[in-house]
Structure 1
Amino acid sequence: MLSEAMTALAAAGGTALVQAAGTDAWTEFRQQVARWFGRGNPQRENAAVGRLDQTAVLLETAGPTEVERVRLGQVAAWQARIEDLLESLDGTEQGQAAEELRALLAQHASQGEGSAGQGGLAVGGDYGSVAAGVVHGNVTLGRPADGHTSPGPENDPDDDWPRES
């Protein structure tokens, strides 16, 4: 049985893999993860590449109504694979593999890749906080070109929210 920290690492790994699939960072990240799974064995590395490619295809071809279910299923599958590999190693090897995976995930995160499925929003980089949501329609960021501004809370006649003065 894995420690809580190892289980959390496996969960982070599964999430990172699924989020990276289909992004610009995928090819390099995929190869690094396959090498991690292979642990020096070319057959295991090739098998991991095949599973990683299958994940990317499943996510890419999932329809709008099934994409979240597929995404969650793939995160769980990769978490389980990572846990299985870590459990198969003895104490020293397990610690080394965990450190390698942490470094791999940190390197991937530092590249500032953001990704999202259909209708989603993701932000990557060194940010203090991130908000995300589903947007239906167009989104414009910045000041409108025509100079029009929306009324703020201080001058909105329909806003009856109590304020401190």
Structure 2
Amino acid sequence: MLAEALMELAAMGGTAIVGAAATDMWQGTKGAVVRILGRGDDRVEQRTSVQLERIPLELEQASGPQQDRVRTALQNRWTEKLAELLEDNPELEGELRSLVEAVRAGIPATQQTFVQNNNATGGGVQNITQTGDIVVGGNPRNQ
């Protein structure tokens, strides 16, 4: 099982990838993700590149509330890919952390902040990994 710190890093990576998609940082971010996930395997790098190219298109085609759902689905998809990568290759933690930090430093905070709504009904249980401020009810603090 993946350590909590690495799972958190994977989640930050998924958010960074999707957050960078609509910015000037996209090509550099995409290239770094391809290198990290591909690890020198041309076929994996090509497949990853094609998958990453879909992100801006999917976000562009979605509108309003649908865009939030698409963004969340994309973040979850890339978080899962990164979690699997880190589980098999924990030595890649430093590279992924550097990528996350570069994206965070390069895009405006407003593009790094997303709302995630989680609902559990009928006795359902959720396990959610998230970083940053978590607001339950009330108004978020002004930043």
TM over 0.5: yes
1:10 corresponds to: 10
- Distance in 2 separating the partners of 1:69 and 1:123: 16
Deviation at 1:61, TM superposition (A): 0.9
Deviation at 1:100, TM superposition (A): 0.9
Could you say if the C-alpha distance between residues 131 and 77 of structure 1 is closer, same or farther in structure 2, counting changes exceeding 3 Å? farther
Code of the residue aligned with 1:105 in structure 2: it is V
Structure 1 equivalent of residue 105 of structure 2 = 110
1:85 is aligned to 85
Identify if the C-alpha distance between structure 1 residues 37 and 123 changes in structure 2 by more than 3 Å, giving closer, same or farther.
closer
Question: Residues 72-126 of structure 1: CA distance to partner in whole angstroms, max 9, x if unpaired?
Answer: 111111000001112223xxxx1x2011111121122223x127xxxxx4479xx
Q: What is the CA distance between 1:63 and its match in structure 2?
A: 1.8
Question: Percent identity, aligned pairs only?
Answer: 33
Taking the aligned partners of 1:122 and 1:56, their CA distance within structure 2 comes to 14
Q: Which residue of 2 aligns with 1:144?
A: none
Deviations 1:44-69 (CA, angstroms, capped at 9, x unpaired): 11111111111221111112230000
Counterpart residue type for residue 114 of structure 1: P
Q: How does 1:16-27 map to 2 (within 5 A)?
A: 16-27=16-27
Are the equivalent residues in 1 in contact too, given 2:16–2:112 (CA < 8 A)?
no
What are the ranges of 5 or more consecutive residues in structure 2 without an aligned counterpart? 114-140
Larger Rg belongs to = 1
The equivalent residue for 1:50 is 50
Give the unaligned 5+ runs of structure 1.
116-120, 125-129, 133-165
Partners of 2:104 and 2:112 within 8 A in 1: no
- Count of aligned positions: 116
Question: 1:79–1:122: structure 2 CA closer, same or farther, 3 Å change rule?
Answer: closer
**Mapped pair 1:100 → 2:120:** no
**Contact 2:19–2:111 under 8 Å retained in 1:** no
Give the match for residue 59 of structure 2. Answer: 59
Note if contact 2:20-2:26 (Cα within 8 Å) is conserved in structure 1.
yes
